[in-house]
Structure 1
Amino acid sequence: MRFFTSAPLLLASATLVLLASCQTKTDEKGGKDAKKNAGPALVDVLVARPSAVSDSLEANGAVVANDYVELHPEVNGRLTYLNVNEGRHVSKGAIIARINDADLQANLQKTRALLQVSRLSQERLEKLLKVQGVNQADYDLAVSQVRSNEADAAYTQAMLAKTVIRAPFTGVLGLRQVSPGAYVTPTTIIATLQADTKLKVDFTLPEANGAIVQPGSVVTVQLAGNPPRRYPATVVAQESQVNQTTRNLTVRAQLPPGAQASPGAFAKVSVSTGAARRSVLLPTNAIMPGDQSDQVVLVKNGKALMKDVRTGDRQSDQIAVISGLAAGDSVVTNGVLFTQPGKPVKVRRAAAKQ
């Protein structure tokens, strides 16, 4: 079998191959020229100036109310009155709820009637005893009956007092958990009440650092917000023993009056260790975290140089570099991602850190 190929078809194929080869060489040459003509990366630098930076520890904590209680009834019964203004302030002694007390009221009336009769009997026997018209035993029995009736009346009055649920202190009511007419028991939660005038922060420290705080020490508390709110808080007490599971020590600090916080809110507590060391404060975006150590980019002789550093205390927007930098080092703060080791860089703006 024979195959025949026309001359024009071969010529066209050869032409296409030649054009493709020329285009590839042109692209490679253009790419090399582009890399060759690429300018140095633009960066902002900060001239390192070590200074004494106070070392501190950060701990997690929570805001707690000075007083907090769950309002439970002390007796069983049906709610006849409920006054829970959710989220509102109530004064100490304000009536929150009442429980049906009709049976106790009737029992109190019966006891008072018996008490009245027993007192009259005691008075008559007392007069007879003076003229020896009755023996001492009969009179003593009458006195005992009076005291028994008085005790019954006092018990019933105490049970009546338990049918009224009052606010034990001035504070803010939480959400209502029951409705009027509900049958409640001592395990039923009617609402919660917490005092918001004095707020505290409970936080934990490792056992080894428990000695750096004492009653009267001042810590810095940061609460969530935009922007975050910071308050100085005074340590008032610490737990008498270390948690055996976590080996942490719980510390309580008092927030200043007027602090805007909600009980239960997360708090970040900064505790000063009292020690200060020479460090350089850098913006957090100047640090490149690594597996072995953190790194920064320095500008030396117009080129980028990677430098291992050791970091310390970290704040919201700054971090302290403990070692690895010397006074006068130019540290790249903006444009870190555009630099390459040994490649030239162009400083757009320089600043000195005091």
Structure 2
Amino acid sequence: MTTTTLPTPRPLRKRMIVMLICLALLFGALVGFNFLKGYMIAKFVGEMSSQPATVSTARAGYQTWQPQIQAVGSIRAAQGVDVTTEVAGLIRQVRFKSGDEVKAGQVLLELNDTDDIALLQSHKAAAELAKTAYDRDRTQYEIKAIPKATLDASAADLKSKQALARQQQALVDKKTIRAAFAGKLGIRTVNPGQYLKPGDAIVTLQALDPLFVDFSVPQEQLSQLSPGQTVNVETNARAGQWFGGKITSISPKVDDATRSVRVEAQLANHQQKLLPGMYANIRIDAGARQSHLTLPQAALSYNAYGATAFIVKPGAKAGEDGKTLPVAEQVFVTTGPTRGDQVAILKGIQAGDQVVTSGQLKLKNGTTLIVDNQVQPASEANPAPQEQ
């Protein structure tokens, strides 16, 4: 049996040819578009890279730094207590005002002691009677009129009565609250007629001159400290104003949790500008002055390979206007200690090098530069907070 292949209809063949041509044109258009897009991007990037970047710069130079130990701490009073009472009682009279300066032993408050004084008088009378009886018995004993046992009983009774009188006198004295030391009082929290229980706070009393500041330093800095060494203290309440003091004590034990050592320093506070509880910044000069090549910290960029900076170098090619602009050259640097807004440079930059301090993000090796130093980043060794 013979199989006969039927010819493809002519209209169907034409449609297939037209479809193949359309697919070829579409593929060619896509390839051409991608090629044109890559060309335009490359052209744009090339034009951008050829545009000079505006940056600010600074000259690397040597500065003399005083090595310092820096710490934070807390100020406390040389003497400070919350005045309380040992005995219960009703307040009869308050003899101070909030914020008063008081002397040691000055009366602050009196409790009602009428009943206690009456009992004291009774004990004193009993003691006087016992004293008379003892004197009489002693006279009789001297003439052998009474035995020694009677005289001993009279002596014991006298001592007992006198002890009761002294005990009652101590209770009466406790009803008068006095300042334990000279200082400044806080806010009064009691009023006449109020009933106080033992331990109730009456007012805070703080001796404000001198003050102490407590702080901690790492154990590796312990060898740089000694009693009598000068310290400088600043508080947030007195920003920019430093107060001098002396180290008075260094703890003989290192904290095994933080590996730091507690240090105590004494501050003069004649004008009472400092108060107990204030947060304190501490700086201590340690060692001789040192010379460092410094830059603003804003001049450095950091990545996984270390710290880098851009140095301004003379350009080799003239621009369209005939001027030769400087270019950027990236270098790796080794940094040292920092102080405020400045950082010491140990390697990578020489004194006198012109270094880019702002605008580094748009730079690469060979980028032409326009230097505009109208605005400079902060470069203070001891920056102070600025209130706006």
Among 229, 232, 235, the alignment partner of 2:247 is 235
SS for the counterpart of 1:197 is: strand
Aligned mate of 2:136, from 102, 105, 124: 124
Superposition deviation, residue 111 in structure 1: 0.3
Q: Say whether the 8 Å CA contact 2:212–2:264 is kept in structure 1.
A: yes
What is the aligned partner in structure 1 of residue 228 from structure 2?
216
Does residue 342 of structure 2 align to residue 304 of structure 1?
no
Whole-angstrom CA distance in 2 between matches of 1:290 and 1:172: 55
Q: Tell me the distance in 1 between the aligned counterparts of 2:296 and 2:352.
A: 17
Q: 1:189 corresponds to which letter in structure 2?
A: A
> Gapped runs of 5+ residues in structure 2?
1-36, 315-325, 381-388
Q: Following superposition of structure 1 onto structure 2, how do residues 175-194 of structure 1 map, counting pairs within 5 Å?
A: 175-194=187-206
Determine helix, strand or coil for the equivalent of 2:130: helix
Larger CA deviation: 289-298 vs 48-57: 289-298
Decide whether aligned partners of structure 1 residues 152 and 54 sit closer, same or farther in structure 2, where only a CA change above 3 A counts. same
Paired position in structure 2 for 1:148 = 160
1:303 and 1:341 in contact (8 A); partners too: no
In the alignment, the residues of structure 2 paired with residue 225 and residue 285 of structure 1 have an alpha-carbon distance, to the nearest angstrom, of 29
Per the normalisation by structure 2, the TM-score is 0.73
Q: Assess, with a 3 A threshold, how the Cα gap between structure 1 residues 320 and 33 changes in structure 2: closer, same or farther.
A: closer
2:89·2:197 contact (CA, 8 Å) conserved in 1?
yes
Q: Within 1, Cα distance between the matches of 2:238 and 2:152?
A: 77
Q: Give the aligned partner of residue 266 of structure 2.
A: 254
Separation of aligned partners in 1, 2:78 and 2:59: 48
What residue is the counterpart of 2:364 in the other structure? 341
Q: Report which stretch shifted further, 135-144 or 275-284.
A: 275-284
Aligned counterparts of 1:51 and 1:165: Cα–Cα separation in 2: 60
Cα shift at 1:251: 0.6
Which residue does the alignment assign to 2:22? none
Q: Look up the equivalent residue of 2:75 and give its one-letter code.
A: V
Q: CA deviation at 1:83?
A: 3.9
Secondary structure, counterpart of 1:320 in structure 2: strand
Q: Counterparts of 1:278 and 1:57 in 2: how far apart (Å)?
A: 17
Compute the displacement of 1:218 (Å): 1.7
The aligned amino acid for 1:146 is L
Paired amino acid for 2:219 = E
8 Å Cα contact 1:108-1:157 kept in structure 2: yes
1:1-354 counterparts in 2 under 5 A?
Answer: 35=48, 38-43=51-56, 45-225=57-237, 227-258=239-270, 260-274=273-287, 277-288=290-301, 293-301=306-314, 302-333=326-357, 335-336=358-359, 339-342=362-365, 343-349=367-373
* Cα deviation, residue 33, structure 1: 11
Moved more, 180-189 or 308-317: 308-317
The alignment partner of 1:50 has SS state of strand
Q: Distance in 2 between matches of 1:114 and 1:318?
A: 82
Aligned to 1:120, the other structure's residue is in SS state: helix
- What's the offset of the Cα at 1:289? 5.4
Task: Tell me, in whole angstroms, the C-alpha distance in 1 between the residues paired with 2:107 and 2:260.
Answer: 41
Aligned-residue sequence identity (percent) comes to 27
Aligned CA distance change for structure 1 residues 107 and 292 (closer, same or farther; 3 Å): farther
Q: TM-score, normalised by structure 1?
A: 0.79
